[in-house]
Amino acid sequence: MEYLFFLIYDIVFILGLSIYLPFYIRRKKINLSALKQKIGLIEKTGLGRHNTIWIHVVSVGELNLIEKLTRRIHELFNYEIIITTTTLSANSLARKKYAKLAKIFFFPFDISFIINKTIKAFRPKIFIAAETELWPNLFYRLKKKNIPIVIVNARISDRAFKRYKIIRPFMRKVLKKCSYIGVQNESYKNRFVYLGANINTTLISGNMKFESLDINENQLDSLRKKYLNLLKQENSCLIVAGSTHNPEEESLLAVYKEINALRKNISLLIAPRHPERIPVIEKIVKAYGFNPVKISDIDRISQQSNNVFLLDTIGELLYFYSFSDISFVGGSLSNYGGHNILEPIFFLKPTIFGPNMANFQDIKEIILKNKAGIQIENCAGLKEKLLELIDNNSLRKELSLHCAQVFEEERKSLDENLKIILQCVN
């Protein structure tokens, strides 16, 4: 019966892939190198004959999440580390960030014969997934080979939980394959257990995002010297809007145009979640009467009062948040579930976010409980809070103090997740 479940899943996955793959290729979300690895054509050069520790992440956010964990694993175990990613941007960043720690590959399509080829090539001693990466065929094949499966920093969003409940019998078969699931909080534990995870091996290990922000001080200092004086004039206020999606850029520019008419020395930097959208955003900026300036071109552009800066680099948003006086985190005014509000808060920056924070519900609750951030409902609220923060330096300092308190209270989860991994490997 179980074999039939996974056979049906194979068929459904192949049919879905045949429909969506042409769209991914057309939108340049996959290239030839990625496609080869995703169908199991893996260069074994550099892969030894010994076991590896396989860590999987989806995108840039999870890649940053696992940095300290990966370094600790590298220190503790005498195994080669393999990191797989799903997106092109995460893979590119992983090659830069983990070049000395791990081999980097694209995650394979979850089809049985491809998964078998990948497992044979990687020879994993353990498979570690970050957050909620549930891959039925992979889990099924790993379990058959008695390879431990661990999910760290696990969570299930409201939207995903609704979908998973529809296929609860199938999810039970998938989750039973996991050796351990380290969840962020009690609520997520209840969701995993309801869907079929073993209650005894589903453990509350905390939220690693509070320990995942590892700052390269040399890179921060270099970027500060290169860009800070170009972004901010004396006594000016810089607003950094990070991880924005359509149509948030237009909403931000509409608000910024009104604020710019009311206050002097206000600058705006927009960092879209997907840098490939920069050409479209440049047109929107011009439509609102501003001059778009890409960060990669900033030293060749004259300083003008109507510049709007656009971050077109990958993996540097965290450092640009440190330059801000006020930050806005996108994906929250549009319906994308929000993005990591801890990044600007790590630098003690007054941080605003919208009503849609489903992907970071637990972090949002901690931030609001500690009065370390501001949630707004719409563009009118965004304008109101931006003006309040621009005019009230005492409020900005108060928020910064609360930001520091949040991190002091919440840092603990890295060691808890390492305990789980140690238990499995040993």
pLDDT > 80? residue 187: yes
Give the pLDDT confidence of 70-113 residue by residue, as tens digits.
999 999 998 999 999 988 888 999 999 898 999 999 999 999 99
Q: What 8-state DSSP symbol labels residue 107?
A: P
**Confidence grade of residue 7 (pLDDT, cut at 50, 70, 90):** confident
Q: How many residues does the chain have?
A: 426
For each of the domains in the chain, give its residue range(s) and CATH number, in order of start: 31-211+412-425 (3.40.50.11720), 217-410 (3.40.50.2000)
Average pLDDT in the 406-410 region?
75
Q: How far apart are CA 347 and CA 359, in angstroms?
A: 21
Beta bridge partners, 104, equal 83
Contact 249, 272 (CB under 8 A): yes
**Confidence grade of residue 157 (pLDDT, cut at 50, 70, 90):** confident
Query: What pLDDT, on a 0 to 100 scale, did the predictor assign at position 45?
Result: 56
Average pLDDT in the 321-344 region?
95
Own/partner pairs, 6-13, CB within 8 angstroms, 24+ separation: 6/112, 6/136, 6/137, 6/140, 9/136, 9/137, 9/170, 10/111, 10/112, 10/137, 13/109, 13/110, 13/111, 13/137
State whether residue 50 is helix, strand or coil.
coil
Average pLDDT in the 240-249 region?
97
Q: What 8-state DSSP symbol labels residue 126?
A: E
pTM of the model: 0.71
Q: How far apart are CA 83 and CA 94, in angstroms?
A: 8
Average pLDDT in the 384-403 region?
95
Cα dist. 136→22, 116, 183, 279 in Å?
A: 23, 13, 19, 38
> Which amino acid, one-letter code, is at 174?
V
For the chain, the 3-state helix, strand and coil shares in percent, each to the nearest 5, are: 50, 15, 30
> Which amino acid, one-letter code, is at 346?
F
